[in-house]
Amino acid sequence: MTDQIVNWIAGTFGEWLSPEIIVAVISMLPILELRGGFIAAALLGVNFWVALPICVLFNILPIPFILWLLEPIFKWFKKHSKVLGNLARKLEEKAQSKADKVQKYEFWGMVLFVGIPLPGTGAWTGALIASVLNMPRKKASLAILIGIVLATIIMCTVTYGIPALVSLIGA
């Protein structure tokens, strides 16, 4: 599914945006995040050493905003808008439904939740859960950062390492 989204974005915006900008945007999007960024980079032929800092930096970029601003924004939504208040409640419920995985193992639970590339996990959801659980921001930030490092290692191996190894063996 990620490759279909990447192909759609590249096909739609490829005339106006460089592959590197497309990778940066995908790396910032919820759900796709760093995982999608690396897949996009590999599919678009972006050099690994260019893709690595782009994916990591642009995946990290939204996290402080989520950790520090999400709670007051959600409160404002609930107070001033029925539609936005309902959206905030649904996002909180989604985070709460995944929170038990993080609460059970606390810091390392957050690291693994962010770092293991499974559907519905990642830095965005991890930051959302940390915010909903009122996890100390420094602790959450460090756990999310370590999780991003873990996700980076896994995704670099899958998107660049294994294909390079296969081409070496096949050559």
Where exactly are the structural domains of the chain?
Answer: 2-60, 63-153
Contact 122, 151 (CB under 8 A): yes
Q: Using alpha carbons, select from 9, 38, 31 the residue that is nearest to residue 128.
A: 31
User: What sign for the dihedral angle of Cα 42, 43, 47, 52?
Assistant: negative
- For every one of its 171 residues, what pLDDT tens digit does the chain have, with 9 covering 90 and above? 667 777 787 778 878 899 999 999 999 998 889 999 999 999 999 999 999 999 999 999 999 999 999 889 999 999 999 998 898 898 888 888 877 777 778 899 999 999 998 888 899 989 988 988 889 999 999 999 999 999 999 999 999 999 989 988 876
Distinct helix (H) and strand (E) counts, the chain: 9, 0
What's 81's DSSP letter? Answer: -
CA atoms of 153 and 52, how far apart (whole Å)? 10
The whole model's pTM is what? 0.86
